[in-house]
Amino acid sequence: MILATYKEELIRSMEYLAKRENSIFLGQEAKDYNGTMIKVPGNKILETPVFEDTQLGISIGLSLNNILPITLYTRMDFFILAINQLVNHLDKIKEISLSQFEPKVIIRVCIGYDGPLYLGMQHTGNYTEGIRKMVKNIKVIELTNKDLIYPSYVSAARSDKSTILIEYKELYNT
DSSP β-bridge partners for residue 24: 69
4, with CB counted inside 10 A (0-12, 13-18, 19+), is: middle
Model pTM?
A: 0.94
Domains of the chain in start order, with CATH, are 6-171 (3.40.50.970)
User: Cα separation of 55 and 111, whole Å?
Assistant: 19
pLDDT tens-place string over residues 40-78: 999 999 999 999 999 999 999 999 999 999 999 999 999
pLDDT at 2: 61
pLDDT tens-place string over residues 144-165: 999 999 999 999 999 999 999 9
Residues in the chain: 174
